[in-house]
């Protein structure tokens, strides 16, 4: 019986937490070194203008269904899925070995109990006798649809990152209008102008510290899952074709992270790869 890969859990992405902390902390520290104080850039009205305006613009431009899906992706920014390619390879090789000995139909009972949904679907199709080209088309379509959904969610954050700096400028202009209406009190003109530009800081900061990095991180997460799905598909195709498990392993190891031995990356020698291919 093949060793099943553990369910894909999630672990905290400390890089995301550290990045956000360093970005905000660096700005506040830099302001402090210039002789400023945090209260100078804390303006509730500016935050309301930027956040309200940005959210409103996004609601106007993005379908609600996509917005809800994108909101569910927030966890992907700070939680990293555990995708163990090595364990998945071992599971696939176990199925390949059994199929080579007893036929692919012998995997029917095990296919229904597979934890990973993509592998379960692909192997079930193979056991049911689905044509190899149809299996590839169906599973590649599933990969493509998943990528499209991810891109749609990421574009929500990219849109927010595009709108917020402009909304920040609007906030700054509103502040300047208020200042120009009180020129009779010259002592407060300088302070008013400084406060007006706080909205610009919020708009640019919201875009470049949170929204745009969030979109990039969501895409990166999806890319990792796509690579794992491609690995699974190639493995199932190899099983259907009746390839030698050693040859299947050699193909799938291209998707796994190279092992580091004593500071050096362990790469199979060319003659070893050729030998495995010859056996296949």
The Cα–Cα gap between 155 and 212 comes to: 9
pTM of the model: 0.76
Predicted local distance difference test score (pLDDT) of residue 268:
45
Residues 66 and 89: their CA atoms lie apart, in Å, by 34
pLDDT of residue 260: 38
pLDDT tens over the chain, length 280 residues: 555 555 557 788 888 889 889 988 888 888 788 777 777 778 888 889 999 999 999 999 999 999 999 998 888 888 888 888 888 999 999 999 999 898 899 888 888 889 899 999 999 999 999 999 999 999 999 999 999 999 999 999 999 999 999 999 998 888 888 777 776 766 666 667 777 788 899 999 999 999 999 999 999 888 989 999 999 999 999 999 988 999 999 888 887 765 433 444 444 444 444 444 444 4
pLDDT (0 to 100) of residue 190: 64
Distances (CA, A) of 30 to 37, 102, 140: 10, 68, 49
- 147-167 burial, b for 16+ CB within 10 Å, e for fewer? beebebbbbbbbbbbbbbbbb
Q: What is the model's pLDDT at position 160?
A: 94
The greatest distance separating any two alpha carbons of the chain, rounded to the nearest whole angstrom, comes to 93
Q: Could you state, in order of their start, the residue ranges of all structural domains in the chain?
A: 10-279
- Residue 248's Cβ-count burial label (10 Å; 0-12, 13-18, 19+) is buried
Minimal CA–CA distance to 235: which of 122, 110, 117, 103?
Answer: 122
């Amino acid at each position: 019986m093949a060793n099943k890969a553990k369910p894909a859990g999630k672990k905290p992405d400390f890089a995301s937490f550290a990045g956000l902390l360093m970005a905000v902390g660096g700005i506040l520290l830099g302001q402090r070194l210039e002789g400023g104080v945090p209260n100078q850039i804390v303006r509730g009205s500016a935050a309301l203008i930027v956040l309200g305006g940005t959210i409103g613009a996004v609601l106007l431009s993005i379908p609600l269904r996509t917005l809800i899906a994108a909101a569910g992706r927030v966890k992907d920014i700070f939680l990293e899925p555990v995708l163990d390619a090595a364990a998945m390879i071992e599971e696939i090789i176990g199925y390949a070995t059994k199929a080579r000995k007893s036929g692919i139909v012998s995997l029917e009972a095990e296919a229904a109990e597979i934890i990973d949904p993509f592998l379960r679907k692909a192997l079930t199709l193979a056991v049911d006798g689905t044509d190899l080209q149809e299996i590839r088309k169906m599973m590649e379509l599933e990969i493509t649809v998943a990528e499209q959904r991810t891109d749609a969610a990421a574009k929500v954050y990219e849109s927010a990152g595009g709108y917020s700096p402009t909304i920040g400028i609007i906030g700054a202009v509103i502040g300047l209008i208020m200042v120009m209406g009180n020129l009779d009190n010259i002592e407060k003109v300088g302070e008013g102008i400084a406060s007006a530009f706080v909205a610009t800081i919020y708009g640019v900061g919201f875009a470049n510290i949170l929204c745009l990095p969030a979109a990039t991180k969501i895409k990166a997460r999806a890319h990792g899952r796509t690579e794992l799905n491609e690995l699974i598909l190639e493995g199932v195709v190899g099983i259907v074709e009746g390839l030698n498990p050693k040859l299947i392993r050699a193909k799938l190891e291209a998707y796994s992270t190279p092992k580091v031995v004593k500071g050096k990356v362990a790469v199979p020698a060319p003659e070893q790869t050729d030998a495995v291919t010859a056996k296949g």
